[in-house]
Chains A and B, each alone.
Chain A
Amino acid sequence: MTGCLRDRTLLLFYYGGGTGAQRTHLTECEACAARYRQLGRDLEAISQVLREKPPPKTVSHRFRPFSARWLPTTAALALALVLVWVSVRIWNPSARPPLKGTNNGETWSLVDEFPSNLFLLNEAIAGELWTEGADSYNLAAAVLEAERPCEWYDLPAMGTAESSIEDLEISGTMPFATCVEVEVNPGHKKR
């Protein structure tokens, strides 16, 4: 074997590694043998330092909340908080922000109500379009079939006169009408 052993080879040898050729070299080469002995002394010196009581430290148990290792945890926590906030805003009407210049509760209750009324009326109109005689009476009947009690207003006369369903039936003319939903009182008899 030519050339001296490297430090890492000597260290491997110290801990029981190395090959037969390296061992032979170590016994024959005085320089490597001296380095090997120095390695042993170094490790013993290190062990001796560690056996002694360590010197006191300048204590600085610093709290470092923004160190890189806490970043994923912080990000996950922030995301969870945002998700909770969003879900509360969506599913809890009372937590919605007030609309400008309105009473918050009333406004949101109307918004909540509006789509269902709209769809009922749409269904009624759609049903009417597929039946013969698309006159206003059938339209009214279709709306009534939807079991939404309401009062009927002639759009041309809107704001000037009200007419009941019987009046409309008698007149037989109702180019356009609109149904305004009313509360059902206990005495009201449904069809």
Chain B
Amino acid sequence: MSYEALYAAHHGEVLRLCRLLLANHHDAEEIAQEVFLKVYQQFQNMNQTELMMWRPWLIRVSVNACRDRRRSGWWKLWRGTNEEYQEANYPNSGRTPEEMVLSRETQGRIWRAFEKLSARQREVFVLRHVDEWSTEEVAEMLGISTGSVKRYLFRAARHLRRILGDR
């Protein structure tokens, strides 16, 4: 697999993961670039016959890079916590106006609730539900036990589901 093919196959996924973990599109793009720079360096150093499971490696590197960015003091300082989603820009999927309004409100609430999750809960929820990794794979990628993954998932899901319960 060439580097270009690897980039084409996984860049979107890495960018989405970073965007979800950092909740900032510009930071997510920066981190995704850093991750693919590491991919390129890794690619240069690799034996061409060597098989590599790129996807788990990419996810692990991306999660760590996002974690580093979140820990950065300046990022904490400048990261706006008062950002509000513009509900008018939500995608509608051919729903009725009433459904669209309800949907926009609900989606906005989901995003806001998601941003209130702890960093670890976010990581676990995204990997398990959005990227659809198994609990064991998530545990391996994050270097924690499956029991911890389940605990984080339980708390995150309970918090997010309350939002839907308020519909």
Residues of A with Cβ closer than 8 Å to B?
A: 7-8, 11-12, 14-17, 39, 42-47, 49-52, 54-63
Contacts and interface: CB of A to CB of B under 8 A. Distances in A.
Contacts of B86: 55-58
Q: 5 closest pairs, A vs B, by CB? A: A57-B83, A47-B129, A61-B80, A55-B89, A15-B150
B129 A52 contact: no
Given A43-B129, A46-B160, A50-B130, A62 B80 contact: yes
Interface string B120-155: 000000100110000100000000000000100110
A61 B76 CA distance: 11
A12 B161 CA distance: 13
A49 B164 contact: no
Interface stretch (B49-57, B59-67, B107-115): B107-115
Contacts of B84: 57-58, 60
21 contacts: A8-B158, A11-B154, A11-B157, A11-B158, A15-B150, A15-B154, A39-B161, A43-B161, A44-B129, A46-B114, A46-B161, A47-B130, A49-B106, A49-B111, A50-B110, A50-B126, A54-B19, A54-B25, A55-B89, A55-B107, A55-B111
Given A11-B158, A49-B110, A50-B110, A59 B83 contact: yes
B16 A55 contact: no
Contacts of A49: 106-107, 110-111
Nearest to B110: A49
Contacts of B129: 43-44, 46-47, 50
**Residue in A8, A46, A63 whose Cβ sees the most chain B Cβ within 10 Å:** A46
B69 to A, nearest CB: 15
B20 interface: yes
Contacts of B106: 49
Contacts of B160: 43, 46
Interface string B87-123: 1011100000000000000111011001000000000
Given A8-B158, A15-B154, A46-B164, A58 B111 contact: no
Contacts of B107: 49, 55
Contacts of B110: 46, 49-50
Contact of B90 (A44, A46, A55, A57): A55
A15 B153 contact: yes
Given A50-B114, A57-B86, A63-B78, A15 B16 contact: no
B114 A60 contact: no
Nearest to A65: B77
A45 B89 contact: no
Contacts of A54: 19, 23, 25, 85, 111
B42 interface: no
